Homo-oligomer: A and B are copies of this chain.
Amino acid sequence: MTNTTYHVGIEATMAVLSGKWKPVLLCLIQSGNNRNGSLLRALPDVSQKVLTEQLRQLVSDGILERIDYNEKPARVEYHVTEYGSSLTKILMSLCHWGEQDIRRKQAAGVSVSLGTAL
């Protein structure tokens, strides 16, 4: 019953992306890194708890789908849904912008760098 009213459309988008790791997760999953363990290894600073939480929220928002192969040992994969890809396409632009911004800041003497997790 708690009606959420936004002022501008982007608030709804940011609600879906809210969470420290969601944008990165989407980029990684989009490029084929789609399992719990390998995501944990790619992002050493995310905790198991938060990883699960944010993946589940993306699933419940229709951006990701969770595929459980019912194997032993457990095997689960996350994939971007067709609907989700309408969002991840834009995220790729943001990714590119970020890369340029890093270069810009480096040129300005700021100490930032970009490792390769992709």
Residues of A whose CB lies within 8 Å of any CB of B are 1-14, 16, 23-24, 27-28, 42-43, 62, 83, 86-87, 90-91, 93-102, 104-105, 111-118
- Chain B residues whose C-beta falls within 8 Å of the C-beta of A14 in the assembled complex: 23, 94, 98
CB-CB under 8 A for A28 and B8, given A3-B111, A90-B90, A111-B2: yes
Interface SS of chain A: helix, strand, loop or mixed? helix
Structural contact, A3 and B113, CB atoms closer than 8 A: yes
- Chain B residues whose C-beta falls within 8 Å of the C-beta of A99 in the assembled complex: 9, 12
18 A–B contacts, CB within 8 A, in A order: A1-B111, A3-B112, A6-B102, A6-B112, A6-B114, A7-B117, A8-B117, A9-B96, A9-B99, A9-B102, A10-B94, A10-B98, A11-B98, A12-B105, A12-B114, A13-B23, A16-B101, A62-B104
Closest chain B residue to A14 by CB distance?
B23
- Chain B residues whose C-beta falls within 8 Å of the C-beta of A101 in the assembled complex: 12-13, 16
Structural contact, B6 and A94, CB atoms closer than 8 A: no
